[in-house]
Structure 1
Amino acid sequence: MERRRDRRKAEIVRTATELLSEHGYQGMNLEDVAERTDIAKATLYHYFSGKDELVAAVIEALTVDVNRRLEQELDKVGDRSHLEQIRTLIREQIRILTDTAPEVATLFSWPTTWPDSFQDTIKESRRRHDAIFRRVVEAGLAAGEFDCPNPDVALQCLHGVLNQSSLWIRPSLPPEKKAELWEAVVDTAARMFSLEGARR
């Protein structure tokens, strides 16, 4: 029973994610979630007390999933240079935003329709996400491998570049063109942290 409940809850969250990415917070409603999930609206209230609790679950699920993907990729290169680690994170983040989970870009890169009540939730999500990149940058600085005068500014610039990439690396591009653009962004963004980039 518990597994079945968890599966249904996850299905509801996935459906709500689709609707949020399609219509934004204001355009998403529980009636559409219920219809697309093929359950009665009243049944939704067995899982979530209302729209805001469901939306909060969407934000948390996406945050956990993105951070898990980043950590998995980082684990694969944990014994390599900090430059290779930051390049790996940049590459995976671009892949998430432009290929494997474009709804993340829709909901987090340009969150223009979030009500004020969700601002703290979004900030906390971004803080957790940023911490993964920050950990690598701080380790690279401590090891003398990176040279950026202000890591906070560099990280803000990096996230700006990553968010922007979701606008011009379109899903409709051929795979080889997307891969070429991914690597171009990785090369350019990584220069903000590397000693080589600092000398240019």
Structure 2
Amino acid sequence: MTTDDAVASPGRAARRRDRRKAEMIETALQILSAGGYQGMRFEDVAERCDIAKATLYHYFPSKDALVSAALEKLTTDVLVQLTAALDAAAGQSATERLRGLIGEQLRVLTVLYPEVGTLFSFPAPWPEEHNEAIKTMRRRHDRLFREVVDEGVAAGEFDCPDPAVALHCLHGILNHASIWLRPDADPDGRTRAAVVDESLRLFTR
């Protein structure tokens, strides 16, 4: 082995570990979205990843550690997508920024990460130790929408009587739309655009 190979090997090993860990987290998300917390077993994750259960424990000491990592990754990925949508609409009106945010949220729920809707649309039994983390994730998500809505209210673009209620209704619309709106049923995106337009009506009289 050359000196360069000796230096590169630890880097390659780290990348392999990262890829394997990412696969475990992705598999856990798929199982969580299908069966919820109670339906996710370590054995199933290990089997789908084609690894020994002991190997899974090497990366995650418990089921809850894996669930926490999966939820955090999902939340981070979604926030990255929503933030990118806001950045793309920088300098535009609050209405257009909210339009972009709603459209991206709908795309996330129906195209990129359909498991988000499954996991968070409706109340589900979660162990107490995850409740605070899930609340924090929701707050991080809702803050992006609230900031744009507050800007729109301050600018006189939005005149809804109660922005907080309008935001709750907005998330209800998007979560339910994620159940029936799928790309194969809306190839030209017209239905998705209509959902965005109707959602914006919540913020104007």
TM-score using structure 1 length: 0.90
**Unaligned stretches of 5+ residues in structure 1:** none
Moved over 3 A (4+): none
Report the counterpart of residue 49 of structure 1 in structure 2: 61
Q: Which moved more, 1:111-120 or 1:141-150?
A: 111-120
> Cα deviations across residues 147-182 of structure 1 (Å, max 9, x unaligned)?
122211111111111111112214541412xx1111
1:187 aligns to 2:197 (yes or no) = yes
**Unaligned stretches of 5+ residues in structure 2:** 1-12
CA-based RMSD of the aligned residues comes to 1.5
Q: Distance in 2 between matches of 1:181 and 1:115?
A: 37
1:38 aligns to 2:50 (yes or no) = yes
Q: Which moved more, 1:80-89 or 1:165-174?
A: 165-174
Count of aligned pairs:
193
Q: Following superposition of structure 1 onto structure 2, how do residues 75-86 of structure 1 map, counting pairs within 5 Å?
A: 75-86=87-98
Q: Distance in 2 between matches of 1:155 and 1:119?
A: 21
Q: 3-state SS of the aligned residue for 2:185?
A: coil
Q: Distance in 1 between matches of 2:107 and 2:78?
A: 11
Offset at 1:118? 2.4
With over 3 angstroms needed to count, the CA separation of the structure-2 counterparts of 1:168 and 1:118, relative to structure 1, is same
**If you compute each CA radius of gyration, which structure gives the higher value, 1 or 2?**
2
Q: Following superposition of structure 1 onto structure 2, how do residues 97-136 of structure 1 map, counting pairs within 5 Å?
A: 97-136=109-148
Q: Distance in 2 between matches of 1:30 and 1:70?
A: 31
Offset at 1:73? 1.1
TM-score using structure 2 length: 0.88
Offset at 1:132? 0.6
Q: Percent identity?
A: 56
